[in-house]
Amino acid sequence: MHITLFDAAQQVRDSLGKIDPETGELIETYAESRALFEQKAVACVAYAKDEAAGIEAAKAMIKAMQDKIKAREARLERFKVYMADCMKATGITEVKHETGLFSAKLHLDRDESIVIDEGATFPAALCNPPKPPEPSKTLIKAAIKAGEPVAGAHLVRKDRLTIS
């Protein structure tokens, strides 16, 4: 017969009020019920401790895997920079596998982004609407491309390597 912790607790509650009318003592079933409850409760505590340890181990494993993924992503980005530098140095902008399964193409000066110097301030016309005003890279880029001098920001051109 399988008795749950709830059933054991119910047996303790049921036997708690049973008193021998002749002696005025608690009937022995209370001690037996209490021992069974304590045994079940200890097993439940062991389960909870084991489950908590399993959860913590899973969290640690996930964190370790996330760290490994980040490291591999960083290594891949460094490799792409290395490959792009080598291709640029040789003047070769495209390489393909002989069967066409994969290729790499170097697009020179294709990507543009704005780098804002630390501590630089900009007029409200070059800032996004929220308070406090934040510089808008889109507006700054448009101003620079239109030939306006913008102190504190400059246009940077980067190479892009695509692997397909």
Sign of CA dihedral 139, 114, 89, 103: negative
- Condensed to tens digits (0 to 9), the pLDDT of residues 112-148 reads 999 999 999 888 888 887 767 789 999 999 999 999 9
Q: Enter the pTM of the model.
A: 0.55
For residues 84 and 161, give the distance between their C-alpha atoms in angstroms, rounded to a whole number.
6
Burial 45-81 (b: 16+ CB within 10 A, else e): eeeeeeeeeeeeeeeeeeeeeeeeeeeeeeeeeeebe
- Condensed to tens digits (0 to 9), the pLDDT of residues 67-89 reads 999 999 999 999 999 999 999 99
CB-count burial class (<10 Å; 0-12, 13-18, 19+) for 9: middle
